[in-house]
Amino acid sequence: MPNPVATFDTSMGQIKCEIFLDQMPITASNFIDLANSGFYNGLHFHRVIPNFMDQFGCPYSKDPKSRRAGTGGPPDGTFKNLKTGGTETRSNGGNIKDEHAARISNEPGTLSMANTGAPNTGGSQFFMNVVHNDFLDWFSPGESKHPVFGKAVDKASFDVMVAISKVPTRDDCPNTPVMMKSVTVA
């Protein structure tokens, strides 16, 4: 069975990404569950940095100028692991356990889990890499560990990621909000 594809309909264009359910089933299932519930719809990119990444997925970013944007996660609860059929848990502020399964590098066009820097603190926030950020790989030396769970399927999608990273910002927050209208997974 092929991996699912997520379609990110943003105010700057559409991004399509393969979601690596086969290699990263916990992280991918968490993302798919949140996307299917409508969690991401109407949120804004709250942190974008050229030649680095676009960060997204904080529920407080529904208000694009919220000072709390970047600090929130999904509600605690459970979701189905779409590969194993088992039940996974979100707890302690909507966090999932770190999934250090597939050694996929934070290459341009990949989707990677954001976290607070502490173990097991990923939830709903993720970032889109616009350059090779291998220092963020969970299997690299250092403290910053961010597992990759998807990748842009074409150049047009990657070009939208790059365009978002280059918008004018103040303190890394876009001056003109960039909205995620919807995320669908098929």
pLDDT (tens digit per residue) in 4-32: 999 999 999 999 999 999 999 999 999 99
The tens digit of pLDDT for each residue in 55-65 reads: 999 999 999 99
Structure-token pair, residue 135: 């220092």
Residue 144 has pLDDT above 90, yes or no: no
Q: Is the pLDDT of residue 143 over 90?
A: no
Mean pLDDT over residues 87-106, rounded? 97
Contacts 24+ apart (CB under 8 A), 73-81: 73/123, 73/124, 73/125, 74/34, 74/39, 74/123, 74/124, 79/29, 79/30, 79/33, 80/29, 80/33, 81/25, 81/26, 81/29
Name every residue whose Cβ is closer than 8 Å to that of residue 68 and which is 6 or more positions away in sequence.
58, 60
* Cα 73 off chain centre by: 12
